[in-house]
Chain A
Amino acid sequence: MIPTRDVRGRELGGPDPLDRRLGTASPSPLTWLLSLLRTRSALGLAPSLTPAVIFLPLGALLGPGGLDLLSPRVLGRLDMAVTIALAVLGVLVGTALGRQIRTAYRLLIAASLESAVTTVAVTGATVYFVRATGLPLDAPVVAFALALGLCASASSATSADPDSEPVAAVATRVADLDDVLPIVLATVAFAVLPPVSASAGWMFALAPIAIGLAVGTIGWLLFERAESAAERVVFVLGALALAGGAAAYVRVSPLAVGLVAGLFWTVAPGRADRIVQDDLKRVQHPLVVLLLVTAGALWTPSAASLWLLAPYLLFRLAGKVVGAWATAGFLEVRAGDLAAFLMSPGVLAVAFALNFRQMLPPAAGETLVSTVAAGTAAFELFALAVVPHWRRRRQ
């Protein structure tokens, strides 16, 4: 069995640091009523509602298709924060990879295999479906299908507390690591997608590594020598904004740049990775909410997105089940248990979709985000129903 110590839901982190400092709220008659909608549950810290279930519909309600509070102009302004949030998620994946690569390379291989199976299943199905139905897309079919497949491969395992049982801990670590391969593939896709020459393609492939290493070096030089906590937070947020902004500026993936920087901070001597992780806790929940609300606001119920939802749901489910079956032997857990815990796509799927939206033509990007947002909400609800039932049956 894989060791289960130091396992936490990476995307959500722990409780909000400000909440901990403020302590518990005064008890009141409202407390009972509000406990039903506890944001703790909404943020997936308790195994009930997950953030995607709350904030994707909320974003759709506030977006241009709903109340229009998040108008296209506001969403355009939010692009800056979304770019930084993508880099932050990349850093979290990078630090998870850096910590586990030495001790749990078996997990990395298994997680990569599982995500590759899902990617292939959804990509292949989407290509066949689009060609068979003649669905109009303003992007190359293979590129679009690959983007959808990469979005489908993400897992978060937030439907259960990682410490609740050994298989949940393993699933959480698999979910932590199964985003590495999609980010690498997304980097390659970014290099191939735009109509660029071969030399420019090489530049696009190498740019995330170069920018990630530069940002990693800047952070490594600064974080540990900050004179105060406030200065350190400025350095951390500045480095992350630089990572996201530089990536977006040269049209490469902020997730990939963040991954390289996070990996660098973990592998390099010193405590840079711990510092980043501690300081990111302050903004981790707002960034998760931002990504989900933005994706919800971008949801447009078009015919294309609704048609694509069917193969997305069906083949992601099939991909996860087959992927879990293929890897469960390595991990010494039951395939059914692993598949059940990996159903939840989490915020990473939405992050991939928002990342590809920056690359694809506008209409195709909108279709992709809409399909993935709806699929994520559906899978989160499915996971809520499946996982507790599955656990009860096993017990």
Chain B
Amino acid sequence: MRRLAALAITTGLAWLLVVRLGTEPAGSAALALGFALVAASIVGWLFEFLRLPRVTGYLAFGLICGPYVANIITEPMARDLRAAGGFAIALIAFIAGLHVQLRRAVPPLTKVALLAAITLIIAWSGFAAALYLTWPWLPIGPDLVGFQRLAAVVLTATVLVGVSPTVTVAVIAESRASGVLARLATATVVLVELGVIILFAIGLEGARLAFGSSGRDGWTIAASTAWTIIGSLSFGALLGALFTLYVRFIGREVTIVLLALCALVAGLGPQL
């Protein structure tokens, strides 16, 4: 009852400020963040109480309060929240990294890679076949035929088959799972995502040839893809090593350093 009362006051306050009183952009991101943290947590709890997944509650809350329904979190507010989102992703990924036990990987990496490959192939093939057959009825480019349709289908299927390691880790953390299945799911999703990045680079090159566009050459795309994968791993490893040295030899104000590191990753990572 207390939670429902808190939800009502929170929603009422946000609605009064955003919908009734103002269009003031200042502080909108902080307001959206506070409203989302408090209200979404309560809605998640409510869903769990009703034996439904918490994550579904969060999504339902976002949908209802977002720009397309109640508009309590307006489009500019949602845009401003991306800064917090990037920071949260860096923090979640950091925590996920802490839980990866390379020496105790269960099952071994080869088996996980095989599982990821099979998952990717089956899912991607299914999407590609369905898209190819239904293409004339889709509002993407119904007039495309032959090689051009094939290239468009390859790209669309690749986009659709993409997974999010961050969301997977968030769901695992939310459900407090820590067993073999959770570790397997995390590792599989990471490998599938790597496969999707490579597949997307190949698909993009194919689309460039099919549509005769003068984009970047194949080597540039390959180099860019390699940099995305290897560069991000190297950058993360470098920061991780520096952080380890800091904790080991200084070990003071670790929270400040950790948050600064996450801010650095969130801000600098995409620019690299």
Contact = CB atoms under 8 A, between A and B. Distances in A.
A238 B37 CA distance: 5
Nearest to A247: B27
A221 B13 CA distance: 15
A395 interface: no
Contacts of A231: 41, 45
A106 interface: no
Contacts of A215: 13
A289 B247 contact: no
A372 B132 CA distance: 65
Most B CB within 10 A of own CB, among A26, A215, A222? A222
Given A18-B255, A19-B251, A39-B252, A240 B2 contact: no
A25 B252 contact: yes
Nearest to A211: B13
B255 A286 contact: yes
Nearest to B173: A230
A268 interface: no
Interface stretch (B18-26, B61-69, B153-161, B193-201): B18-26
A2 B211 CA distance: 82
Given A31-B249, A221-B3, A83 B38 contact: no
Given A25-B248, A222-B2, A249-B22, A243 B253 contact: no
A225 interface: yes
B37 A25 contact: no
A282 B253 CA distance: 10
A240 B2 CA distance: 19
Nearest to B258: A18
Given A25-B249, A34-B250, A246 B27 contact: yes
B259 interface: yes
B10 interface: yes
A391 B194 CA distance: 64
Interface residues of A, number: 57
B254 A242 contact: no
Contact of A249 (B24, B83, B249): B24
Contacts, number: 163
Interface string B78-105: 0010011000000000000000000000
A228 to B, nearest CB: 9
Contacts of B9: 214, 217-218, 221
The SS class assigned to the A binding surface is helix
Contacts of A241: 30-31, 33-34, 37
A25 B80 CA distance: 38
A245 B29 contact: yes
A74 B83 CA distance: 10
B32 interface: yes
A248 B251 contact: no
Contacts of B18: 249
Nearest to B248: A26
A217 B12 CA distance: 13
A227 B45 CA distance: 10
A245 B34 contact: yes
B34 A38 contact: no
Nearest to A282: B255
A235 B38 contact: yes
Given A234-B37, A237-B37, A24 B251 contact: yes
The SS class assigned to the B binding surface is helix
Interface in B6-59: 6, 9-10, 13-14, 17-18, 21-22, 24, 26-38, 41-42, 45
B84 A22 contact: no
B250 to A, nearest CB: 6
Interface in B234-272: 247-256, 258-259, 267
Nearest to A240: B34
B138 interface: no
A164 interface: no
B233 interface: no
A268 B93 CA distance: 39
A392 interface: no
B133 interface: no
B140 interface: no
B5 interface: yes
Interface string B132-170: 000000000000000000000000000000000000000
Nearest to B83: A77
B247 A285 contact: no
Nearest to A43: B253
Contacts of B32: 245
Contact of B31 (A16, A18, A77, A249): A249
A286 B177 CA distance: 30
B10 to A, nearest CB: 6
Given A238-B34, A285-B256, A286-B256, A225 B27 contact: no
B41 A238 contact: yes
Given A241-B33, A242-B31, A218 B247 contact: no
A22 B42 CA distance: 32
Interface in A34-54: 34, 38-40, 43
A331 to B, nearest CB: 34
25 contacts: A19-B252, A25-B252, A39-B250, A39-B252, A79-B29, A80-B29, A83-B27, A84-B30, A214-B9, A214-B13, A235-B37, A242-B13, A242-B31, A243-B34, A244-B27, A245-B31, A246-B13, A247-B27, A249-B26, A249-B28, A250-B17, A250-B21, A250-B22, A282-B255, A289-B256
Given A74-B267, A246-B31, A286-B255, 9 more contacts: A25-B252, A28-B249, A84-B34, A217-B6, A238-B36, A242-B37, A245-B29, A249-B26, A254-B27
Interface of A: 16-19, 22-26, 28, 30-31, 34, 38-40, 43, 74, 77, 79-80, 83-84, 211, 214-215, 217-218, 221-222, 225, 227, 231, 234-235, 237-251, 254, 282-283, 285-286, 289, 358
